[in-house]
Amino acid sequence: MFVGIDLAWNDRARTGLAALDDDGRLVASASVRSNTEIDTWLDRHTSDLPDVVAVDAPLIVTNPDGQRPCERMITAAFGRYDAGCHASNLSKPYFDPPRAQLLADRRGWNPDPGSNGPGVCLEVYPHPAMVGLFHLGRILPYKGKGGRTVEVRRAATLELLDRMEGLDQLEVVENERWLQLRRTADEASRPMHLDGIEDEIDAIFCAYLAWSWRHRREDLEVYGDTTSGYIVAPPPPTHPTTPRVPRPAPRASGDADHLSHVSVSFSVSGQPATFATAGERAWRDLVELAAVEAMGGRPTLRGRLSVHVDFVTAQRHGKHPGWDLDNLIKPTIDALTPVIGPREGQWTHAQPDDERVDEIIARKRPAEADEQPGARIVVSEMAAHMSGTTGHSPAMSWAGSGATTPR
């Protein structure tokens, strides 16, 4: 049995799971959240130690800050295809220790890629693996970030499914669960439809990498080592890249042409929390995780900044007082250090350089049926003629229901 896991860094986000038989055929796949759900699914579909497990998540992290050597190697080989790595280090509480390490320890898996016995657990990364195996000129933009529209993501998801169906060993075209995933992608009209399947699709691809590690070893190699961490991926590609298509800067409805073309946008899945409440720390961690992934190791934004946030809150029940918009904004902005950089000075904990934020546009609305709470965040560098070079006039606007849906 070969297992693929697209492991979320915490149990508030989705984790994709997939299992292939010894011939590489898809047996089962699912999307869950908690450790208990992960273990229950694994117990049901892998009675013994799997032959190989491929996990899309940091497995070995020992560096106190910065990137791991293996992340720098992957970025050097695949960065020009937009498949570089973000930084994993022990300064982040969710990597001390990594959830993947805890999972491997709990299941008795061996994180040494050189082992020939059962239960080998590999760290993999789908984006560079797809670039290498499918000879892509640039990554497929199926993830919910970077200001991508539903149409762009839907087309990229369908292309990925087509390419995976070309992997003969998977034999997915008659698999009922696979057909459900394809129908969902084909009929997707909102971001939530694609958000609900991308982790499971990644897990199936990871399971194929696990199978390839035993049966097509020449397709893969190890970047790094078991001391500082490693990632299993195809050899460095030599095929040409696809030119990047310029994208216009995001704008709020009715805005003037005051935003530059330098922006970062991403979605956060989880219940937004207000300032000075029990859920604030968890919400800030979710925002920071999503921001780190969206940046992908790129430098932080410069100059004066504009922040747009669309919150989707859980439905109110009973006497719940609801969520004040102004109190939702503060912990969200405080978690944007990966995008806007740290403030200079001596601090016990790193502080975001939010003095450079001159504009905040925020909205909130309750989640609709079957929609997950979360937020859509866009941070943009502002044009000099709007932000000014000497003094600033911060602008904050609020809107109630009727805001755009986070993507």
Q: Are strands 15-20 and 305-313 parallel, antiparallel or unpaired?
A: unpaired
Q: What is the pLDDT of residue 9?
A: 85
Cα radius of gyration rounded to whole Å, the chain: 21
Average pLDDT over residues 43-69: 94
Q: What is the pLDDT of residue 251?
A: 44
Report how far residue 399's alpha carbon sits from residue 133's, in angstroms, rounded to the nearest whole number: 46
Q: Look at 33 and 320; give whichever has higher pLDDT.
A: 33
Q: Which helix (H) or strand (E) holds 327?
A: helix 325-334
Lowest mean pLDDT among 174-178, 197-201, 245-249: 245-249
Mean pLDDT is highest, among 142-151, 280-289, 331-340, 388-397, for 331-340
- Tokens in use for 344? 């200079």
DSSP secondary structure, 34-51, as one string? SHHHHHHHHHHH-SS--S
Report how far residue 198's alpha carbon sits from residue 29's, in angstroms, rounded to the nearest whole number: 12
Q: What is the pLDDT of residue 390?
A: 39
| pTM for this model (two decimals) | 0.69
Q: What is the pLDDT of residues 359-403, one digit of tens each?
A: 999 999 988 876 778 899 999 998 754 445 434 444 433 333 333
- Give the chain's mean pLDDT: 86
Q: Look at 25 and 285; give whichever has higher pLDDT.
A: 25
Q: What is the pLDDT of residue 261?
A: 52
Q: What is the pLDDT of residue 253?
A: 41
Q: What is the pLDDT of residue 384?
A: 59
Residue 257 has pLDDT above 80, yes or no: no
- Tokens in use for 282? 């968890």
Q: What is the pLDDT of residues 302-348, one digit of tens each?
A: 899 999 999 999 877 666 677 899 999 999 999 999 899 888 876 66
Average pLDDT over residues 290-310: 86
For 275, the 3-state DSSP assignment is: coil
Average pLDDT over residues 25-54: 95
* Burial (Cβ within 10 Å: 0-12, 13-18, ≥19) of residue 330: middle
